[in-house]
Amino acid sequence: MLETVEFMPAFMRDFHSHFIAFAVQHQVIRFGEFKTKAGRLSPYFFNAGLFNTGSSLHTLSEFYADAILDSALPFDFLFGPAYKGIPLVAAIAMALAGRGYDTAFCYNRKEVKDHGEGGALVGAVPGGRALIVDDVISAGTSIRESVAQLRALEAVPVGVVTALDRKERGITPLSAAQEVTAQFGIPVFSIATLDHLMDYLEGDPTLAVQREQIAAYRAQYGEAVLP
């Protein structure tokens, strides 16, 4: 049985705005014209794959630890969907260990291994409550696959943590994050959201044009405001 980790609320630094500044500095958030999976022309793009050095991944994992601790969500282990979730879940587990929380983690393979230890998972044996780790949610496909896989192993998905919530609607007026919550009854929380990005842009007069473009895009494609 995996050790249950109970997180208590804590007063921490303003990690939301610091993360946005960090992502812009590393050009993980870029401004311009980018085509999304939905075929929309977005004035900004978030690519967590550009956190591709040891120092940037280490800092990213600390931001994830901030968000996880701030959520106060109890869970038993971390789960990282392949492929981007693999380095993320390992790095986050180390960041949490550095704060006194020795957290188990595992991740899945894209192809089931039929030799050696075999199976579709690597790492801790899933048991109890799972917190799913991902970079962003676009259509929510990988999250739905993760929930199905974890439930098949009799683990209980209790939440999803991502780096950035674009707060953008999918094929319905709801965003992918809202759809996951509505479908599975689990919270989806992020290090930062589009709201934090807009605040960052408002604080920099040189980015006024980018803020106007993103505001217009949000007006057209933003998630529904739920009661």
Catalytically active residues, by annotation: 113, 115
Residue 197 per-residue DSSP state: H
Q: Which of 161, 204, 143 is nearest to 63 (CA)?
A: 161
| Beta carbons of 78 and 64 less than 8 angstroms apart | no
Helix 54-71 and helix 15-25, axial crossing angle in degrees, nearest 10: 160
Runs of H (alpha helix) within 53-165: 54-71, 85-97, 141-152
Q: How far apart are CA 210 and CA 32, in angstroms?
A: 8
Q: Nearest-5° angle of CA 101, CA 105, CA 109?
A: 165
Compute the residue count for the chain.
227
